[in-house]
Amino acid sequence: MSRRAALLIARLAARLLPRRLDGWGRAMVAEAGAIDGRLAALGFAFGCLGCALRARMGFHLTTGDRTMMDMLGGRPRRLAMLCAAGATGLGLAWMAAAGAPLRHLAVNAVALILGILAVALLSRVRDVRRGVVDLMLAALLLLTALAGVSAGGVTRWVAVGGVLLQPSLLLVPILALRFASSRDALSTAAILVAALALALQPDRAMAGALAAAMAVLALLRPERNVLIALAAGGAGFAAALLRTDPSPAMLYVDQVFVSAFAVHALVGLAVAVGAVLLLVPAAIGLLRDPGNRAAYAVFGAIWLAAIAAALLGNYPTPLVGYGGSAILGYLVSLLGLPGRAEGIVAGRQGAERPADPEAPGDSLRAGSPLAQSA
C-alpha cells in the first residue's frame, strides 16, 4: 500500500507542477516507482509534493515581490480555492498513505468539487435579505441541536444521503463572516441563536471558533452589536466547555496530526503544511488588503481556532482529515471574503500613475514596498 501511495502522491505532485516542469514531473514519478524501500519511496514522494506546491503556489515570483493574490488579479476567493485544493490534496495523500478506505478519499474529493461549484454559483446570487437568511442558517444549527443525529450524548450531525454532515462546520464560518460585513439587528440575532445552538449540541470546537471570531471583530469594530455578539459567543463557548463531551477519536477524522506523524515524519509534515495553507488567504489579505481587514481577521480566527481544537481534542481536522463538512464550510465561507482585494487594486493603479515629485507623499508611495510590488 505504501508503494502505491507513493506513486499516487508523486503523480499528484507532477500534475501540480507548471507545464514548463513536465519533464521534472515525469522523472519524479519514475524515481518514486524505482525506490526499493516503502517508507523511502513515501518520503521521496512527499518531498516531491512539497516542491510542487512551492513551485505552483509560491508567494514570490523570481521577477519581483508579488504575492499569489497579486498574481490572481487581487481575487482572494481564487487564492483561497487554490489553498483549499492544496490542503485537500495533501489530506488525500496522507489518507492514502495510511490505508484509508477509497470511499473516504472520494467523499473529500467530491466535497471539494461541490464546494467550488457552490462558490461559483452563489457568488452570482444577489443577497437582498441578508439578516433573514442569516437567521434561517442559525435556525438550522438550532434544529440540529434539537433533532439531529446523536452519539454519546452529543447531537451535532445530520444524515444526508447516507453521509453524516456537521452543520456547524458548514454554517458557523459563513455566519461569522456575514456578520462581519453587516452588523445589523437581524444578523446579531443570528449570532445569538448560533451561539445557543453550539452550546446545546455541545460543539466546543466551533463554539470556540465563533467566540474567537467575535473577539477579533470586537478589536477592529468595537460597536454595540459586535459586543453583544462577543458576549453571546463567549457565553456559548463557556457553556459548551462545561458540558460533557465524551466523543471518542474517529480514525482519519480526529487526532489527524498525531496519526499522520505516526505513519511517517514527512506525512505528518504534509498534513501540517495543509493546515497552514488554510490560513494563507487571511495572512496575505491582512497584509495586502487593509480595506477588508475585518473579513480576513474573522476568516483567519475561525479556521485557526478550528485547527487548534483539532490539535487539542477529538474534533475534526479541517480539510486534511476525512469529512466533507469542513471542506464545504471552508469554501462556502469564501463568499464572506471580498470578490476583489481593494488594497491591491489601488496599489496597482497607484503604480501605473507617474509619481509627482512636487506632490506631498507621492514620492513615499512610489517608493513603498506595496507600490513596488504592485
Task: Read off the pLDDT of residues 149-202 as tens digits, 9 standing for 90 and up.
Answer: 998 889 999 998 888 999 999 999 999 999 999 999 999 999 999 999 999 999
Same domain, 312 and 275: yes
In a domain, 150, yes or no: yes
Total number of domains constituting the chain: 2
In a domain, 265, yes or no: yes
Same domain, 232 and 368: no
Same domain, 322 and 363: no
Same domain, 241 and 256: yes
pLDDT at residue 44 in the model: 77
pLDDT 10s digits, 287-336 = 889 899 999 999 999 999 999 999 999 999 999 999 999 999 999 999 99
Same domain, 221 and 190: yes
Angle at 329 between CA 324 and CA 335, to 5 degrees: 140
pLDDT at residue 97 in the model: 85
Same domain, 223 and 350: no
Better-predicted residue by pLDDT, 5 or 351: 5
In a domain, 216, yes or no: yes
Same domain, 359 and 225: no
In a domain, 81, yes or no: no
User: In terms of residue numbers, what domain contains 220?
Assistant: 101-340
In a domain, 15, yes or no: no
Mean pLDDT computed over 220-244: 96
Better-predicted residue by pLDDT, 368 or 275: 275
pLDDT at residue 242 in the model: 94
pLDDT at residue 70 in the model: 60
